[in-house]
């Protein structure tokens, strides 16, 4: 089961250089569900460490061929749930 992002999740991924909004996380969640769920069962983001996600995501992104901006939104969503 994948969890919807919350306002509290924004603090987990926002930095001094970039503020991540709830809308950003919601977009990342929607992209994760629609793109990743099309090929396999969705993983709960907390089922892997950030390091493991960093190894898996580039391969998955190359398979679905999405833009860098959309990749970043998915990453932000996943990282917000770790």
**Tokens coding 77:** 């969503």
Residue 8 belongs to a domain = no
Residue 44 belongs to a domain = yes
Q: Using one digit for the tens of pLDDT, what is the confidence trace for 25-57?
A: 999 999 999 998 888 899 999 999 999 999 999
Residue 29 belongs to a domain = yes
Find, among 9, 12, 37, the residue nearest to 23 by Cα: 9
pTM (predicted TM-score): 0.92
Residue 6 belongs to a domain = no
As a whole number of angstroms, the distance between CA 72 and CA 76 comes to 6
* Average per-residue pLDDT for the chain: 93
How many Cα atoms occupy the beta-carbon half-sphere of 2 within 13 Å? 22
pLDDT at 2: 62
Q: Total domain count for the chain?
A: 1
Which residue range is the domain that position 28 belongs to? 18-80
Residue 7 belongs to a domain = no
Residue 37 belongs to a domain = yes
As a whole number of angstroms, the distance between CA 67 and CA 71 comes to 6
**In which residue are the tokens 């932000």 written?**
76
């Amino acid at each position: 089961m994948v969890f919807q992002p919350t306002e509290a999740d924004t603090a987990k991924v926002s930095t001094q250089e970039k503020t991540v909004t709830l809308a950003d996380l919601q977009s990342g969640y929607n992209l994760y569900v629609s793109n990743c769920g099309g090929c396999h069962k969705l993983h709960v983001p907390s089922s892997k460490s950030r390091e493991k996600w960093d190894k898996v995501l580039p391969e998955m992104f190359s398979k679905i061929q999405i833009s860098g901006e959309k990749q970043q939104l998915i990453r932000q969503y996943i990282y917000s749930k770790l």
